[in-house]
Copies of this chain bind each other. A is one copy, B any other.
């Protein structure tokens, strides 16, 4: 056994988050020692190549860091107390984490895909080996949202949460809204700025957000992680027109991850959402993240900060390391209740924004209203662009009251079949987050 006041950390993967983690632990070593009474030392790094943002020789750990090109050398290092997995991906990462847990080392990871897809199995493995698998950095970067759910609000029955949990998507929607630009041009800029990957699918199609939401929902409702049941819709179909129409009704369009406990089961869904301007989430712009959480005791709360970046995410990795160093791991023994039903998107209830191309306006609106009325869908607001002359096709926007999605979809089918409408209806969900 080595000195209990020294915690030895191995870092696997020295990319963006790895460099941030190393640099924070090095720069703030004394401040962390003051707060915790523990010396947290990085003693082993596994990385295929050096990172120019990490200067080991000038760091607090210059004398002791071993660098291995074979990342498995790190997990095999029996001197380590904690292995930090920062290579991303789900194959090798899973091997690394499994090996580390089995050999009795605590693991800290920022890997949302790994936790979303294999978390249940890996938490069980951690428990069986008397160690913990900590993942604060997997969701919303530097915002301590995992800690908030698992500890800060631990006495609450959470009824719902809703978050802007993908910075790239939020950057794109913010630029589109504030500068009147189109999706493609902003996406290209996001790629140039390094916010979006060359293949932006994970961000703009909502898969990254769905990974994160599946983790949040699991903690909020004490159920196993259930990524396959997260409904996912991206932002690629959002147009300038939609943003402007939404604005005229007093809403912003945000790409949200929403999880809610209902009588029928758990809802978990990622999609563009009209949010009323009075809601704080509409003030979260650019690459910033925020998560709103509603608990039965605490009411509505919100947590805001940088969702990505070397040191913001590194801040979360280091918080987990410090918790483990302090022995504060009780909340990290993830205890799920029994599986619960996740309801399908057909069964959710919300309000809707519908944008239609309508010809023969007067009669057209009457037919559309009739269809909605037959499905018991109430109209909350309506906008019809003045037609320059008869029989011109003009956009009509309808804001509905809350209704089950199945009924909405049936109504849309019938509306699309009307003679007066052209093409497909655009449907965007609306949330008021009132209860």
Chain A interface residues (CB < 8 Å from chain B): 20, 24-25, 27-28, 31-32, 34-37, 136, 142-144, 147-148, 150-157, 222, 280, 283, 295-306, 309, 311-312, 314-316, 318-319, 321-323, 325-331, 333, 335, 337
CA of A155 to CA of B333 in the docked complex: distance in angstroms? 22
> Which 6 residue pairs spanning A and B have beta carbons closest together?
A326-B330, A144-B152, A155-B318, A301-B305, A142-B298, A297-B315
Check A157 against B28 for contact (C-beta < 8 Å): yes
Given contacts A322-B151, A331-B326, A335-B37, contact A142 B297 (CB under 8 A): yes
Check B144 against A315 for contact (C-beta < 8 Å): no
Check A297 against B155 for contact (C-beta < 8 Å): no
Check A156 against B327 for contact (C-beta < 8 Å): no
Check A155 against B322 for contact (C-beta < 8 Å): yes
Given contacts A142-B299, A297-B142, A299-B142, contact A34 B154 (CB under 8 A): no
Which residues of the other chain, B, contact A222 by a CB distance below 8 angstroms? 31, 34-35
Which residues of the other chain, B, contact A35 by a CB distance below 8 angstroms? 150, 154, 222, 335
CA of A327 to CA of B297 in the docked complex: distance in angstroms? 23
Check A144 against B155 for contact (C-beta < 8 Å): no
Given contacts A155-B24, A155-B28, contact A314 B301 (CB under 8 A): no
Check A153 against B322 for contact (C-beta < 8 Å): no
Check A319 against B154 for contact (C-beta < 8 Å): yes
CA of A143 to CA of B144 in the docked complex: distance in angstroms? 12
Which residues of the other chain, B, contact A153 by a CB distance below 8 angstroms? 142, 144, 315, 319
CA of A283 to CA of B129 in the docked complex: distance in angstroms? 47
CA of A316 to CA of B154 in the docked complex: distance in angstroms? 9
| 12 CB-based A-B contacts, threshold 8 Å | A28-B157, A31-B222, A36-B335, A147-B148, A148-B152, A151-B323, A155-B319, A155-B322, A299-B305, A301-B304, A326-B330, A328-B328
Question: Distance (Å) between the CB of A57 and the closest chain B CB?
Answer: 21
CA of A126 to CA of B24 in the docked complex: distance in angstroms? 31
Question: Distance (Å) between the CB of A250 and the closest chain B CB?
Answer: 15
Check A151 against B319 for contact (C-beta < 8 Å): yes
Check B319 against A142 for contact (C-beta < 8 Å): no
Which residues of the other chain, B, contact A303 by a CB distance below 8 angstroms? 301-304
Check A297 against B312 for contact (C-beta < 8 Å): yes
